[in-house]
Structure 1
Amino acid sequence: MAVSDHKKDPDAVLDWVWDWNEYLDEGETIVTSEFIVSVGITVDSESNTTKTATVWLSGGTAGQVYQVTNRITSSAGRTDDRSITIRVTER
């Protein structure tokens, strides 16, 4: 997933999906996934499959920018991060 900019209303509870298919080799899977978020935005829940990771986010303050990072470890022992930016704005 390329670093990209997303918008979210402070009252919205939305999901974002990280697709790791291009990074993982054939037969390689996600073993662990964690989400690291800037202070001020809340992780409501997170989950993963063998190739994707999903986070549900709530909160944030209008006018603020937050970084959300997904860190995985693969079945081959590789660890990597992918991040997005969330701009909280009244919508």
Structure 2
Amino acid sequence: MTIIKSFNQVLSEQRKDPEFEKAYKEADREYISFKNVVKARECVGLTQGEVAVLMGTTQSAVARLERNLASGILPSHNSLTRYAKALGKRVVVNFL
């Protein structure tokens, strides 16, 4: 008989490995910072369409940029800078 484990059970087991736990925490920090990018747009009160106009691009391009950020896929520095500028923000890079 095959026992199927839930995602949380497998994750819990994997997190006991120190190398996995270190990588997991690093990825989690990156994911949180990317989520904050989208949250910044929402806090400013702009729609994707409004950001697109300010960036000189399309709403679908902004949606793709945000979706990629939420997935951990970094856009070009130029795209991220234009996005930040549209929100009245700036990009700051930290090496921790």
Is the strand fraction higher in 1 or 2?
1
TM-score (ref. length: structure 1): 0.25
Is the helix fraction higher in 1 or 2?
2
Larger RCO: 1 or 2 (CA < 8 Å, sep 6+): 1
Larger radius of gyration: 2
